[in-house]
Structure 1
């Protein structure tokens, strides 16, 4: 059984290592060291998560609960701990500093034990599992007690990483790419097989165990499974229809609906719905569940589609209205009546026990059409196969007149590539260019907006360093109602405050429109956005979908041309 202290020792070395190859070697050595039982846990821990992205288990700890637990463990007031956060800007360093101030008279859990406790990796995991399962009355008290136990049983080397795991922000720079390469190196399997396994399971822990126990052959036997969502295939922007035709030749043209992606899993009469972030949203959408049961004739299937909120005239409601349905936990029936949804299906990845993702789009389309009986609430969207620019332009105008975003232009021969963004799927929209950027900070407002977070600092992602690099701020396009909702949303993600500025844990994405990208020395990315405005709060997108520094480089060069 591996101690949690050993895990933390390796994390500290990784944190102090600059090169990705050296980091990969360290992670690989860690994977080789731990037991088979510990391996999936360590794989997720090192990436800054406790459970797989698709799991219904969720730590669900906000900054407030963490500060409360630190206060009770250290005997220091929450206010003083907040001062430490402002000083360090890091929950891990804050935990170390706060607990180092514990007086000799302060009782801890370990005070009552005959010998010092050495936490194991699995014990830390089980404590987090207990935190995740705590529900109902008294659940907050229970979560705090589990955190207290961990803090008061841990050494100074461990408490920082426990605090970071509690908010799933390890800050050691290890992402999917490093973990993928580390698995391949640790268990002598091809990187491509690890990549494929992850693409089909969306669970790097499962992939690591499979590689260790069965090698390449076992990895190649991994496949899709109903009830375990996979990452959705993504599209990139095309500047115009002509460019898309030049790139693809003949295209499969479809409307780009102004809605939210939904992944549908059907196993007999059991329907499970997942959001773009792979969160289970089944209970929030009982109308869609019922409609899918009737419309999808297959016994088992995994499908991809877009849910659209419809007004009384049959036109799409604003995107934020859809998210109100997705977030709803209470009063669901009332929301069903006031925000009715329709589901437009456009792909199928699995059917009656067989994976379809390696088949060309047109073949998958045949299976999709034959598996679905269109209804008022569920339908297969219309598709046009053509290279005729005038036909595509006509479809584009129809989509816009109907209130939707534009069109999708797809390669008819393309496989379904989970989590990949490439030229096989292109999207054309008439709006200003947009970027999906992560919120990393905010400013408290002034005047009548003093109680709201009103100006938001945005960042792109640099995959080479694993860091989020600031690109500017957005304050335009946000109503008072939105400011209130956003302030409530971000409260649990505040890391520290200094004057009116608030540092926010990278978690929420904003879709931001702008006039142009400019070179700038004011921001670490080297760029700034001219006249940015908020288009959507992308609650449906995960942190992994934030636009990269490379995309800003490409967009800047395209502007100059």
Structure 2
């Protein structure tokens, strides 16, 4: 299949509003892919590269060659070229990757270049979510959509499901099951602003789980073999020996556990998320750091203490809240109360997330307050009747976290790419420094920006521009914007030494001047866990 045809499908889907029409466009493209192209092509239609890491980022795409007029690329050729780019390692890798990237873009038309850039940057927003792709795969393969969705939930890989459906039909899809050792997409939680709102979604009675500020883990055990996967299904087994040690001590032959791994200080309180994520990112497993308390004050299991008995860096302790498989039996279709009973019977209480059954807002509110007092991120309210809905974000699980907001000043704005080309998009955010009268940068965000806001802010910031670059427009620090975020983390990247986590735009504050913006002292107080003054 020509790569240009796939680019045309992407553009057409983005320009189409109706769900049925989008599905038809996607299904037609899937049918035209050669069997060897399905894995790559189906992923591209979902906005995902088959190669998870390519080494290509914003800087690599700044100075691109002009497009060609005549299309020559095929889906297979582009996939092979990206494979070659992703495989570059060692001395001279930057120059080699740049040369390969230039060769690929030189052979691409303007529409093909646009699709490539969206894929490399992970910003291909043409409205083809996983649900639409599941429907399109079913339509293209002539199989029930329920069979595709079920296989997708269990496999956690749209490309794998597309290959099976288009190559083997319903029989191939029926072969997907929960297989110990193969991660599946985790069940996700909706968000609510209060426990009352969460209970309205789940109903009562409900259970309230402590929401740990750690990394999501899914642990598979089959006899002596143990594998630990992240939320994105990456294998991090070698990086978390203490998690492996804890699961090895569980008296079961086969397990699939869902939970969190978190770093704790010597009192048992959670360490900042940055320290937890840094520990999980190291190539070798953490070297340990003595014993610690559990997330709810109980002692850490002996296996974790043994793994942590060496001195050194942050130790990650696992805490589990669900059990998906136990000794040959899949549990995902059972209601939560049955899965959780099996979990309590299989796993030591010191490795379980704190959980409370509630019959109304009063007890749920008390559980939320207690979780925050213990230094945790919030709670997740869960329906005990719901099955484990792998890969879905439904109303059966609802998370409640306190939301921080700050009024910050826009210092600069970056030009957008992909569907945001031509608009000023990524905001550089600054807090007021009362000591100098200037502003301290805290990070960037383009989250929360609607098309209407993008149009408005492009006109606004071009009017405030003091320096117009091809990439960044620096502006007079006058516009205040309200930013919501999940926390503050240490950062060596910014001069203030801190950065916002998951910053997103709430609204522009035309009623405030820059002199009324929040200060860097307020940000540091949040980072230190103190109320700001």
The alignment status of 1:460 with 2:448, answered yes or no, reads yes
Aligned partners of 2:279 and 2:314 also within 8 Å = yes
State the match for 1:339 in structure 2. Answer: 314
Aligned partners of 2:488 and 2:498 also within 8 Å = no
Label 1:534 to 1:247 Cα distance change in 2 as closer, same or farther (>3 A).
Answer: farther
Question: How much does 1:42 deviate?
Answer: 0.8
Question: How much does 1:213 deviate?
Answer: 3.1
Aligned partners of 1:49 and 1:169 also within 8 Å = no
Runs of 5+ consecutive residues of structure 1 not aligned to the other structure? 75-94, 101-115, 491-507, 523-529, 538-561
Cα deviation 1:465-497 (Å, max 9, x = unaligned)? 9x999995539998795372699999xxxxxxx
Q: Distance in 2 between matches of 1:243 and 1:369?
A: 24
Question: TM-score if structure 1 supplies the norm length?
Answer: 0.67
State the match for 1:36 in structure 2. Answer: 35
Aligned partners of 1:274 and 1:281 also within 8 Å = yes
Label 1:128 to 1:362 Cα distance change in 2 as closer, same or farther (>3 A).
Answer: same
State the match for 2:298 in structure 1. Answer: none
Question: How much does 1:149 deviate?
Answer: 3.0
Which of 115, 129, 139 is the equivalent residue of 1:161? 115
Which of 379, 394, 417 is the equivalent residue of 2:389? 417
Question: TM-score if structure 2 supplies the norm length?
Answer: 0.70
State the match for 1:61 in structure 2. Answer: 56
State the match for 1:482 in structure 2. Answer: 491
The alignment status of 1:261 with 2:216, answered yes or no, reads yes
DSSP 3-state at the match of 1:130: helix
Label 1:327 to 1:253 Cα distance change in 2 as closer, same or farther (>3 A).
Answer: same
Label 1:442 to 1:482 Cα distance change in 2 as closer, same or farther (>3 A).
Answer: farther
Q: Following superposition of structure 1 onto structure 2, how do residues 331-370 of structure 1 map, counting pairs within 5 Å?
A: 332-333=286-287, 337-370=312-345
Aligned partners of 2:274 and 2:490 also within 8 Å = no
Q: Distance in 1 between matches of 2:177 and 2:145?
A: 17
Cα deviation 1:301-321 (Å, max 9, x = unaligned)? 321112222112121222232
State the match for 2:376 in structure 1. Answer: 404
Q: Distance in 1 between matches of 2:284 and 2:439?
A: 27
Question: How much does 1:223 deviate?
Answer: 1.9
Q: Distance in 2 between matches of 1:65 and 1:432?
A: 35
Runs of 5+ consecutive residues of structure 2 not aligned to the other structure? 290-307, 407-415, 417-424, 458-480, 512-516, 527-533
Q: Distance in 2 between matches of 1:509 and 1:432?
A: 12
State the match for 1:196 in structure 2. Answer: 150
Aligned partners of 2:405 and 2:485 also within 8 Å = no
Question: How much does 1:215 deviate?
Answer: 3.0
Q: Distance in 1 between matches of 2:482 and 2:238?
A: 36
> How many residue pairs end up in the alignment?
452
Aligned partners of 1:10 and 1:26 also within 8 Å = yes
Question: How much does 1:413 deviate?
Answer: 1.7
Question: How much does 1:415 deviate?
Answer: 0.5
Q: Distance in 1 between matches of 2:106 and 2:235?
A: 34
State the match for 2:268 in structure 1. Answer: 314
Q: Distance in 2 between matches of 1:470 and 1:486?
A: 29
Q: Which has the higher contact order (CA 8 A, sep 6+)?
A: 1
Q: Distance in 1 between matches of 2:155 and 2:281?
A: 25
The alignment status of 1:244 with 2:232, answered yes or no, reads no
State the match for 1:510 in structure 2. Answer: 502
Question: How much does 1:344 deviate?
Answer: 0.9
Q: Distance in 2 between matches of 1:389 and 1:163?
A: 48
Q: Distance in 1 between matches of 2:313 and 2:231?
A: 23
Question: How much does 1:131 deviate?
Answer: 2.2
Q: Distance in 2 between matches of 1:171 and 1:244?
A: 33
Aligned partners of 1:238 and 1:426 also within 8 Å = no
Cα deviation 1:44-88 (Å, max 9, x = unaligned)? 01222112xxx8x422311223346x3xxx4xxxxxxxxxxxxxx
Question: How much does 1:348 deviate?
Answer: 1.4
State the match for 2:227 in structure 1. Answer: 272
State the match for 1:49 in structure 2. Answer: 48
Question: How much does 1:391 deviate?
Answer: 5.5
> Could you say which structure has the higher helix fraction?
1
